[in-house]
Amino acid sequence: MRRLPELGRRYGRSQDRPGPPDYIGVGAEGSGTTWWHSLLLAHPEIRAPRERALDFFGTFCDREMQPADISRYNEHFPRRDGAIGGEWTDRYMADGWVPPLLRRVAPDARLLIMLRDPIECYRASYAQRSAYRVPGDRLSMTDAADRRSYASQLARLQRFFDPDRILVLQYERCRADPLGQYRRTLRFLGVRDDFVPSRLRSPSGRAQALAVAGVRRLPLAEPVRRRALARLTGPAAPAADAAALWPDLEAALLTTFSPEVERLLELVPELELSLWPGFTRTAAPPAPAQPT
């Protein structure tokens, strides 16, 4: 029994200290954030609470956050010297009252955002809600559209955090180049960027990781999950397997999201719009040539 304190000192447990998080993932819902955060947590210098996503600030829409609440939040992030701690709750960015509260609890934190084609996010949300809808119930999707107003949400965050403290990732780029985008994320967080998680060290591991990225956030019935997995790791499945959006609805969504995507390009110039093909078709045409 007398050796336990010595073991604690050896492995750093006795030196764990709570404090404001070093990073907070704030969005966006349905964009593979659970997958990406799990890869980050494989890094030996990154720690997170057991819950990983605390959803801590939801209650403060109807009551004021007190100093005791801040202390309670910080207690979730004990870490030893040389390690960083944080969490990733993908709805923080969408809830308008959260950014100023983030500034209060962790003014020096770095913010992580993962964005996905808003049409595809809507399609996935529609498929999920349809799968679990009780017959006869009306399906409401208004919030699913509102939560894809990425540019407005990012601009709101930038009122409270310097843009240099916000990393915007693109889900499609992370799937196409997971190692490159992983190292980019590590550099942003200030930890060594030569670490590669086991799931990204081999082609089979990368295929498995990408499969998880595609289906973890969509807990559909098993047959639907298998078809989704097959689309990622095997031959292409028929288009009928995907949640179909009828033309009028898709056109309306493009009308809704296009101004947000255009503004997002101004805020995030490195965004690859070619990975969101619906919006490349709606991009403004080039100005006509001036007569000579």
Full set of structural domains in the chain with CATH = 4-280 (3.40.50.300)
Given a contact cutoff of 8 angstroms between Cβ atoms, the answer to whether 92 and 102 are in contact is: yes
Angstrom distance (rounded) from CA 227 to CA 241? 7
Give the bridge partners for 86, in sequence order.
23
Of 211, 172, 131, nearest in space to 31 by CA? 172
SS3 202: coil
User: Six-digit token pair at 221?
Assistant: 């019935």
**What's the confidence (pLDDT) of residue 202?**
74
Task: Give 10-residue mean pLDDT values along the chain (292 residues).
Answer: 37 67 96 96 95 95 96 94 95 96 97 97 88 83 87 98 98 97 98 96 66 50 43 36 78 94 97 93 53 56
**What's the confidence (pLDDT) of residue 4?**
35
**What's the confidence (pLDDT) of residue 101?**
98
SS3 247: helix
